[in-house]
Chains A and B, each alone.
Chain A
């Protein structure tokens, strides 16, 4: 048997209610492997609040505290304080929330927690819309996507706002660690989680989690899409350690944005000019990222 490239221990059970091919379940599966079992998870309203199924079931082998939708940032702050007050400083606190609960309704609480320097890991699994409630747009929905609240209709409405730069927002709080990850590259994700676990203070992960019903593709392509998102540079993999940017994957054979979008029904209405527009923005964001990598190379 080939050597396993990620930890073997499972801290998640099967029998959860995730859709077939759910990217978000892979985010949790890998996060638990890297961070558990001595941890407490807190999860707001999102797909993961429903994943375990009804009371009294749970599909993770670590403590799991449900919290209010807006409040994951406050919940991790409270967990850390409560554990520290009892001398349990070796228990890792992990906030695990969707893009809606982080970029939109949860942004204030996240900002507060980061500014206070909370000693916790926050993982945002990004399926790019409010998926749990049926595919409504969020601040993390990319430009051009169909969602139920940005339907295309006869006017070509679609989502006309750019995806929020969550990494930029969290890094504005001067936190010691932030990284992007994709479920198609679990080794990269696990390595980053292990690096984060060895640090203190606020550590943030933005993890792309493709969603079959929300992105409108057959479930078997979840990992493939997670790979294409990275290799088309739509979702670059990088980490920022104490202000120093490092791109962690440069594809040998880059994919085009067009190839990436073509697999997903939520982009099927885009014409060539619109796809080219997206390609152009992806290219300039990549250049900017490379510039940040160069300019922060000397940062200690």
Chain B
């Protein structure tokens, strides 16, 4: 007799490496960054976090390259650059 297994799903989706979807990647030019947090705020993929100094860091395993961060960055510290290959 099979042990009843319900439809319970609890593996975090972060195992899915959606970074492979990208054709452009965001590059943050720290010298222009004012640490305003807007890029973090508007990332639909939760792919921007902060380093110890408070600068934004892109999680390239998951970033889909949508480009919202480039458009919303007021000081123009982010540029979208074509992925190699």
Q: So, do A and B actually touch in the complex, CB under 8 Å?
A: yes
Q: Footprint of B on A, CB under 8 Å?
A: 1-2, 4-6, 10, 12-18, 20-23, 25-26, 29, 52-53, 55-59, 61, 186, 212, 218-224
Is B68 an interface residue, CB under 8 A from the partner?
A: yes
Question: Among B18, B71, B72, B80, which residue has its beta carbon within 8 angstroms of that of A14?
Answer: B18
B interface, over-half SS: loop
Q: Is B66 an interface residue (CB 8 A)?
A: yes
Question: Which B residues are in CB contact (< 8 Å) with A186?
Answer: 41-42
A2 to B54, CA, bound (A): 9
- On whether the beta carbons of B14 and A14 are closer than 8 Å, the reply is yes
Q: Is B3 an interface residue (CB 8 A)?
A: no
Known contacts A1-B35, A14-B18, A20-B21; A55 and B64 CB within 8 A of each other: no
Query: Is the CB–CB distance between A219 and B12 below 8 Å?
Result: no
**Is B67 a contact of A12 with CB atoms below 8 Å?**
no
Given A2-B37, A12-B46, A16-B45; A57-B68 close (CB under 8 Å): no
Residue from A13, A22, A221 within 8 A of B46 (CB atoms): A13
Cα distance A299–B39 in the bound complex, in angstroms:
40
Assess whether B71 is in contact with A221, with CB atoms less than 8 Å apart.
yes
**Min CB–CB distance B67 → chain A (angstroms):** 3
Q: How far is the CB of B57 from chain A (nearest CB, A)?
A: 12
Q: Is the CB of A22 within 8 A of B7?
A: no
Residues of B at the A interface (CB closer than 8 Å) are: 7-18, 21, 34-37, 41-42, 44-47, 50, 54, 59, 61-62, 64-68, 70-72, 80
Q: Are B67 and A5 in contact (CB under 8 A)?
A: no
B81 to chain A, nearest CB (A): 14
Q: A1-B50, A219-B66, A223-B72 are in contact. Are A21 and B44 (CB under 8 A)?
A: yes
Additional pairs, 7, CB under 8 Å, beyond known A15-B12, A55-B7: A1-B35, A5-B41, A14-B14, A15-B13, A26-B44, A59-B12, A59-B13
Q: Which residues of B contact A219 (CB under 8 A)?
A: 66-68
B11 partner, pick from A16, A29, A56, beta carbons under 8 A: A56
The one of A5, A14, A55, A224 that contacts B45, using a Cβ cutoff of 8 Å: A14
Contact partners of A2 in chain B: CB under 8 A: 34-37
Q: Is the CB of B35 within 8 A of A223?
A: no
**Contact (Cβ within 8 A) A223 B14:** no
Closest approach, in angstroms, between the C-beta of B14 and any C-beta of chain A? 4
Residues of chain B lying within 8 A (CB to CB) of residue A14: 13-14, 18, 45-47, 59, 61-62
**Residues of chain B within 8 A of A61, CB atoms compared:** 12
Contact B44 A18, beta carbon cutoff 8 Å:
yes
| Distance between Cα atoms of A204 and B24 in the complex (Å) | 38
- Which residues on the B side are within 8 Å of A222 (C-beta)? 44, 66, 68
CA distance in complex: A275, B42 (Å): 30
A58 B66 Cβ-Cβ under 8 A: no
Cβ-defined contact, B41 with A6, below 8 A = yes
Q: How far is the CB of A184 from chain B (nearest CB, A)?
A: 8
The listed residue (B10, B44, B61) touching A22 by CB distance below 8 A is B44
Query: CB-CB < 8 A to B66: which residues of A?
Result: 20-21, 212, 219-220, 222
Looking at the assembled complex, report how far the CB atom of A148 sits from the nearest CB atom of chain B, in whole angstroms.
23
Residues of B within 8 A of A10 (CB): 46
Cβ contacts under 8 Å, B45 to chain A: 14, 16, 18, 20, 25
Q: Which A residues lie within 8 Å of B36 (CB)? A: 2
Q: Which residues of B contact A13 (CB under 8 A)?
A: 12-14, 46
Q: A5-B37, A14-B18, A57-B15 are in contact. Are A25 and B9 (CB under 8 A)?
A: no
